[in-house]
Chain A
Amino acid sequence: MERRFRCTGCGKCCQGRLPLSVPDALAHADRFPLFVLWAPVRPGGRSYDLTRQLGVTLDLKKKKQAALRVAILSYVPSGMKCPALQDDGLCAVHDAKPLRCRAMPLSGARAEDDQDDLLLPRAGWECDVGEDAPVVYRDKTVVARGDYEAEREQLIKDAAILRPFATMMLQAAPQIRMDVEKMASRPMGGHVITDTAHLIQHLAGVDAFHFAAKQLPVMEAFAARTAGVAELAKEHKRYADSAAHWRRVLGG
């Protein structure tokens, strides 16, 4: 089984939520509205073992377990284009773009033998998957390895920060634990999104006030873009709450 892929630069995948590595999130904190994604994977679910390795293991009721993926997220509403996507369909930060974008459509957060579905272009995408496009995936093995491996390596490094952070939050914030456990026990799954206020404490060497100064205008801009849109009320509240937090940090 072979999968072919060549990016045509259509920009169609440059929308909605984007999980970011820790360095990418920090490098683009003046661009993306950053939140934390908590996504449980049940045993037998997609890339369960890898998710446990990169994230944490949740102990659920009745001696059940689930893997919990923890990632920083550029939280852009579904269908809303990436803040770095220009009107000409190209990336404004192409040379400095996140590892997640470079590895597309492969994912370093998924096991190597679990990439197949990612290589089927979604409706409306203009990826070249024809005979002329290079083979990128063959017999459950990634052929074009560079960006895929780079993303995986970074996720392994990030785990050293995100795992203790997640363990601490699950202890300290019973509400997050309850919400995550609820999602883990739902047959249709689900995820939880929180702000990044507590994550900063786990990022040694990151100046919290610089981070606040970068995030405040981004959150304000997204709050303004989502204001008054009924179906984006939840997103709007998250941006507004986060903006209020960073404003307090900055003493405004």
Chain B
Amino acid sequence: MAANPCPCNSGKTFEDCCAPLLGGQARAQTAEALMRARFTAHVREDFDFVAATHAAAEKDSYNKSAAEAQAKTLTWTRLEILETEAGGPDDAAGTVTFAAHFTQNGQSMVHREKSEFVREDGEWVYVDGEINPRSAPVRVDKVGRNDPCPCGSGKKYKKCCGA
């Protein structure tokens, strides 16, 4: 375990992970890196960083004092990145789906969100997110009795697994 583990649970130290982004010495290369830094900023109650990394259209609606007030009532414990789509060094947009764990009033809770990020003037910024996103529907392909068996045996389904 690192001496000063980064709150975003990357396994790196804070200095090697989110600190340069929060301090302004480095820029996020990916949407996920910004997502991680914004979580770390919440943990460290650095809401100026959170405010500064909102998309221009969203900046006016961000209530920094409300975020500060909320921080007094809960403790962020852990970040899990569940899925990313695009958002790489060569992309202009991307999404990051995450679960941010916290405790509030002695209860363990989870905030799940699919966040949308875009680049503005080359820099990744947060647009908004869908909370408790629905996962893609599970598709079940029907196998007819006379179709080849999905187990790969080459037999008809009805002569194989479907028997």
A residues apposed to B, CB below 8 Å: 168, 171-172, 174, 197, 200-209, 212, 245, 248-251
Contacts and interface: CB of A to CB of B under 8 A. Distances in A.
B63 interface: yes
Contacts of A174: 132
- Say whether chain A's binding surface is mostly helix, strand, loop, or mixed: helix
Nearest to A174: B132
Interface string B44-65: 0000000000000000111101
Contacts of A209: 65, 68-69
Contact of B67 (A201, A203, A212, A248): A201
B63 A171 contact: no
B63 A249 contact: no
- Say whether chain B's binding surface is mostly helix, strand, loop, or mixed: mixed
Contacts of A200: 63, 66, 69
Given A248-B72, A248-B73, A251-B72, A171 B65 contact: no
19 contacts: A171-B130, A171-B131, A174-B132, A200-B63, A200-B66, A201-B66, A202-B63, A204-B60, A204-B63, A208-B65, A208-B68, A209-B65, A209-B68, A248-B72, A249-B69, A249-B70, A249-B72, A250-B72, A251-B72
Contacts of A206: 63, 65-66
B60 A249 contact: no
Nearest to B134: A171
Interface of B: 60-63, 65-70, 72-73, 111, 130-132
Nearest to B62: A204
A249 B70 CA distance: 7
A243 to B, nearest CB: 13
Most buried by A among B68, B70, B72: B72
B17 to A, nearest CB: 27
Contacts of B65: 206-209
B9 to A, nearest CB: 22
Given A204-B63, A209-B69, 18 more contacts: A171-B130, A171-B131, A172-B111, A172-B132, A204-B60, A206-B66, A208-B63, A208-B66, A208-B68, A209-B65, A209-B68, A212-B69, A248-B72, A249-B70, A249-B72, A249-B73, A250-B72, A251-B72
B55 to A, nearest CB: 15
Contacts of A248: 72-73
Contacts of B68: 208-209
A236 to B, nearest CB: 18
A197 B66 CA distance: 9
Which 10 pairs of residues, A with B, have the shortest CB-CB distance?
A208-B69, A172-B131, A201-B66, A208-B65, A208-B66, A200-B66, A249-B69, A171-B131, A248-B73, A207-B65
B152 to A, nearest CB: 41
A206 B73 CA distance: 18
A202 B65 CA distance: 11
A171 B132 contact: yes
Contacts of B70: 197, 201, 208, 249
Given A209-B69, A248-B72, A204 B131 contact: no
Contacts of A168: 131
Contacts of B73: 197, 245, 248-249
Contacts of B62: 204
A220 to B, nearest CB: 17
B63 A203 contact: yes
Nearest to B131: A172
A31 to B, nearest CB: 20
Nearest to A177: B132
A28 B73 CA distance: 24
A7 B131 CA distance: 47
Nearest to A164: B61
Nearest to B133: A171
Contacts of A251: 72
B93 to A, nearest CB: 21
